[in-house]
Homo-oligomer: A and B are copies of this chain.
């Protein structure tokens, strides 16, 4: 058998596993795995540095299937190269409930899945974070420990999505030359030929964004290998446009959108078996080909062992630090550091915006935790995301800790997910809360994957003032709270900000969003508490003088309004307690007794939040009083806006009294 024959048969193994699995599931996307099988075969047999038996090896190359609908490509590769949890039974259970072989690759379901993909463009967006993470860790730990590539397979959809431009512009700017993107250039999207909707010269586009880019025959193994070799020598990221035939081998559907997203059918598959000379029953890979694949899967063992040798010989302190960071553990003493800082705050009682409180907390955190990587989507001075420790990362220096992501909220969030998935770093990035909408698809994936992605969202209400309703979040707290497994923090002062940051850093399986004010707020936590009270999600901040007639729940900037309303009500003889609610999600996780005690039995319940009511009923009941927004904001000064929208201590106190007197 010639080398080319061997290659073809190895690639065909991917093709038939994919066809057969989609056929058995009666659902799925055979076209991409069939079209991209040659690219994947060359990459996995000749270049990719990995060891299926040590899938979490820190210095492995990462392979990201951005075109996640082609999941059978990845599952086939994992099975063929010998990942232990990717059995042929899993392949046969493709898309069935409880299998590791979900419709799209789900991070955490099977080893070898580096990130969850399917929503188009996200894997490409992640890859910038993976590749940047590699460079950051390389700068910290050297070539001996960190020196790997990030490979991406992207489809037409990935490149049409806007996030792709944010990703490639950022990668080009940062000269992430160990990032290599294969574009499966098959001219077909779901609706038909790509020419229905696109005429972009993608090679020229990538070049305009600072990439090395070329067009090759995606079915020619030597052309693919040569392109990868050239990419390894480039000082820029590389895009290899691989001209392929979708559904390669399918006699009537190849090259058409009929190969894209549905089973080919028995007849078409039989035709493909004939055309490609594959005389084996479904799910059977001939022994010589499976052997060849398994050998390819073991080709990385030497490199991994050599790396382990280098790690063993490394300076003990360096090694321990590397291993700590890759485990995702915070440095010992983190709790005490935060506690010390909280003591200082209790003494100082600073009256600052929570965006400033956040910066102050970060100044402490970044001084103690060397792996935090800050950044902002061009709002550094507004988001207060930069501290004395975080200098700019750029193409000439990856050893620093701050990323100017540009005006690219979506690309930033996807890169943050990639950074945290890479490991060794804890990324956070800022924008205005209103523009969480731009980043939302990536924020959702952070939640679905359970990554420690941290989003710093300032200017969190009408309190931002004159920029007006386009910039004033109204529905965003509710909309973010709606995402499962996403902690939305809204601290009320510097102490709560410190506590929320602590929780965000300690939250390894749930991403966090911190909603922070532009405007100054008084300290509401005036006494030191060793415990992280924000960890309860909601807690009694001020007790009532006597049996509570009124409980006021509030978050963030509205907590001081709640306290002022309490003063007014108590002055009028109505005992009133105030509950601060920095995080709905954590409160919902408390036991029933704590929740009942915290909500309490006061006859009048009020919530104050400068957003919409949605989500508040579960605390105050449907008869509870809500002081907040019912529609969009307006352009005006903060002094005008809060009274204009009726979000004042007076309004709250009056509403409570009206209810008490009813």
Contacts and interface: CB of A to CB of B under 8 A. Distances in A.
A162 B209 CA distance: 13
Nearest to A411: B162
A644 interface: yes
A98 B635 CA distance: 8
A290 B319 CA distance: 72
A173 B198 CA distance: 6
Interface string A463-482: 00111111100110011011
B378 A157 contact: yes
Interface string A4-38: 00000000000000000000010110000000000
A188 B232 CA distance: 34
Given A156-B407, A161-B162, A166-B162, A25 B466 contact: yes
B200 A636 contact: no
Interface in A596-645: 612, 614-615, 617-618, 621-622, 630-632, 634-637, 640-641, 644
Contacts of A641: 97
Interface residues of A, number: 106
Interface string A180-203: 000000000111000011111110
Contact of A103 (B172, B208, B467): B467
Given A95-B466, A482-B612, A102 B441 contact: no
A149 to B, nearest CB: 22
A483 interface: yes
A114 to B, nearest CB: 15
A92 interface: no
Contacts of A618: 617, 622
A485 B622 contact: no
Interface in A182-230: 189-191, 196-202, 204-205, 207-210
A612 B165 contact: no
Given A156-B407, A161-B407, A475-B482, 8 more contacts: A95-B635, A98-B636, A103-B635, A162-B166, A173-B199, A200-B209, A445-B470, A614-B614
A485 B632 contact: yes
B448 A437 contact: no
Contacts of A484: 474-475, 612, 630-632
A382 interface: yes
A302 B441 CA distance: 49
A250 interface: no
Interface stretch (A115-123, A539-547, A556-564): A115-123
A381 B170 CA distance: 34
A70 B420 CA distance: 36
Contact of A97 (B381, B467, B634): B634
A54 to B, nearest CB: 27
A35 to B, nearest CB: 17
A378 B632 contact: no
A199 B174 CA distance: 9
Interface in A440-469: 440-441, 444-445, 447-448, 465-469
Contacts of A157: 378, 407
A438 interface: yes
A172 B199 contact: yes
A471 B198 contact: no
